[in-house]
Chain A
Amino acid sequence: MNGFLTLLQKELLRFWKVSFQTVAAPVLTALLYLLIFSHVLESKLQVYPGVSYTAFLLPGLAMMSLLQNAFANSSSSLIQSKITGNLVFVLLTPLSPLQTYLAYVLAALVRGLVVGAGVLATAPVFTTLPVANPGWILLFAVLGGVLLASLGVLAGIWADKFDQLAAFQNFLIVPLTFLAGVFYSIHSLPPFWQQVSHLNPFFYLIDGFRYGFFGASDVPPGLAFAVVGTATLVLTTVTLRLFQSGYKLRG
């Protein structure tokens, strides 16, 4: 237990020591999106009745930042330790694969949550954001963080070089988050693209998260939870198995 706590603490320190880059910078990026998109679209779009476009946009941006940062944390920590070789300090210890996995995932989840909360905390400056159901908000935030943190662990283990990781991030994570309905409701899309969006697990994360604020969403929150919960469970199991097998870590 103590060993696990130490690794968790180390992973938390790792991003907290450079929180300007790992927390402040992504919050600022999200705010820039918010400023620009809401400036351009505020008067032209209303997705849900009685919800301003800026208010609609905020939870999506917060979730997007949460997801991207959770992924970035676990993946970059693992690949850095692999490439610099200091992962041996963890591998030489009695820490079990489960403990190691959980420490990486939890630290990444915390960073995701901190960044997401940072984005939401700016809400009063721009708009009034209702909170219809805090339980759903928290549930989807945690599930999204765990899902992407696990994906980050998977990518960090698999990638041998930084550019492989960057490819994973740029060609998978970023498109999936951008196309998950952060900036629009998928009901505004042509039917074909609505179908495609329904195949994107990130869509359910953002939709369910948004439901927690507005009590309105594109699909019922129960369905979103079922999809996201299953995806998280599957990915967690796969990643944990990989850790246990020693794949790429214990050659």
Chain B
Amino acid sequence: MPPAIEVRGAHKRFGSVRALSDVSLEIAEGEFFGLLGPNGAGKTTLISALAGLTRLDQGSLKVMGHDVVGAYQSARRSLGVVPQELVFDPFFSVRETLRIQSGYFGLRRNDVWIDSIIDRLELTDKADANMRSLSGGMKRRVLVAQALVHKPPVIILDEPTAGVDVELRQGLWSFVSELNRAGHTIVLTTHYLEEAESLCGRIAMLKQGRVVALDSTRNLLGGIPGLRLRLRLAPGYSPQCLPEGSSVAPGGRVILTLPTCADLEPLLARLRENGARVEEIEVLQADLEEAFVSIMSSH
């Protein structure tokens, strides 16, 4: 079985900007994959190239085994893309927009599926409203719906939750997770790292057009060295006894990182010797944001 997405040696320049340099990765069918990176890292460029909106300078791209240039029709049938920009056609209503999009894929009698996506994305009230009259979040939901009209096996969402309220975001994620469980491959970019952490099984991080991390979410989280602790100390201790790099907040709260677990015992001993009484101690779970910051700063 070919991978859902295969990127080989992708290079793309815009003038002097290297948007992608030598990006290679594979995403297996059924994965929930995160594509992360700071602004300008090249995420959208990679997605555009996969969708055929941009041509690579070098390298090859396949969607479900179909080359996006040589077999563009099969590749595009296999792919649904939710673009980052909020675009819409002001001439049409929500339902018309979806019917037209479906028609472009040759599906002219697709109303049952269209109604079900309208329903799942909570657009029923607005189904016959003109696109112009929709709020930003609703327009984004229509973009999601448009990407799904032809039931593509691979769905790429480029920041689908930007400007979407909390309730809808959760609704959207439960819908996308359901699609994933039904076998669709999902690729997601987002700047909300907790979303990526809870949804994605595997993550690639891009920086200045290069892949700087590519691993399972679990390994990325486990890759953060040291033991992070939050302490609450009774008033009256001297801050000098804390290890270097500790951050001290009002109310005796201290966050610090120890190189290993073995360093905990000596720390507590030193605190005791200095008359600092520990009232509370908590081990902090590493989160993706930390992993992200640490990976980005080391490249």
* Chain A residues in the interface with B (C-beta under 8 A): 1-3, 5-7, 9-10, 13-14, 17, 81, 84-86, 88-96, 246, 250-251
Whether B73 pairs with A92 at a CB distance below 8 angstroms is no
Which B residues are in CB contact (< 8 Å) with A91? Answer: 51-53
Residues of chain B with a CB closer than 8 A to A10's CB: 100, 103
Contact A93 B54 (CB under 8 A): no
Q: Are A6 and B108 in contact (CB under 8 A)?
A: yes
In the complex, the answer to whether B91 meets A14 with C-beta atoms within 8 Å is yes
B53 touches A88 (CB 8 A): yes
Judged by a CB distance under 8 angstroms, whether B85 is at the interface is yes
Question: Are A88 and B54 in contact (CB-based, < 8 A)?
Answer: no
Query: Which of B75-83, B167-175, B203-211 lies at the interface?
Result: B75-83
Contact B101 A251 (CB under 8 A): no
Least Cβ distance of A147 to chain B in Å? 26
Known interface pairs A85-B85, A89-B146; A95-B55 also in contact (CB < 8 Å): no
A218–B72 Cα gap in the complex (Å)? 50
- Which bracket fits the contact residues of B? 20 to 34
CB contact under 8 A between A96 and B73, given known A3-B105, A86-B89, A89-B89: yes
Query: Once the chains bind, are A3 and B52 in contact (CB under 8 Å)?
Result: no
* Residue pair A86, B87 in contact (C-beta under 8 Å): yes
CB pairs A–B below 8 angstroms (13 shown)? A2-B103, A2-B106, A7-B103, A13-B91, A84-B87, A85-B85, A85-B87, A89-B101, A91-B51, A92-B79, A93-B101, A93-B105, A94-B104
Chain B residue with Cβ nearest A1: B106
Q: Which of A13, A90, A92, A251 contacts B51 (CB 8 A)?
A: A92
Bound-state CA distance A91–B51 (Å) is 9
A1 to B72, CA, bound (A): 16
Instruction: Write the B246-260 contact mask toward A (1 if CB under 8 angstroms, else 0).
Output: 000000000000000
User: Which DSSP category, helix, strand, loop or mixed, fits chain B's interface?
Assistant: loop
- CA A5 to CA B99, docked complex, whole Å: 12
Contact partner of A6 (CB less than 8 A), chosen from B52, B53, B87, B103, is: B103
Q: Which residues of B contact A92 (CB under 8 A)?
A: 51-53, 76, 79, 81
Output the nearest chain B residue to A81 by Cβ-Cβ distance. Answer: B89
* Bound-state Cα–Cα, A90 to B97, Å: 12
Is B100's CB under 8 angstroms from A88's CB?
no
**CB of B243 closer than 8 Å to a CB of A:** no
A251 engages B55 (CB within 8 Å): yes
**Complex contacts, B55 vs chain A, CB 8 Å:** 246, 250-251
Q: Which residues of A contact B89 (CB under 8 A)?
A: 81, 84, 86, 89
Contact A17 B91 (CB under 8 A): yes
Please measure, in the bound complex, the distance between the C-alpha atom of A96 and the C-alpha atom of B104, giving whole angstroms.
11
**Which residues does chain A contribute within 8 Å of B146, judged by CB atoms?**
89
Q: Which residue of A lies closest to B146 (CB)?
A: A89
Cα–Cα distance between A86 and B73 once the two chains are bound (Å): 20
B90 within 8 A of A: yes
Q: Which of B89-116 contact A (CB under 8 A)?
A: 89-92, 100-101, 103-108
B237 at the interface (CB under 8 A from A): no
- Say whether A5 contacts B103, CB under 8 Å: yes
Known: A3-B104, A85-B85, A85-B87. Contact between A251 and B54, CB under 8 A? yes
* Residues on A with beta carbons closer than 8 Å to the beta carbon of B105: 3, 93-94
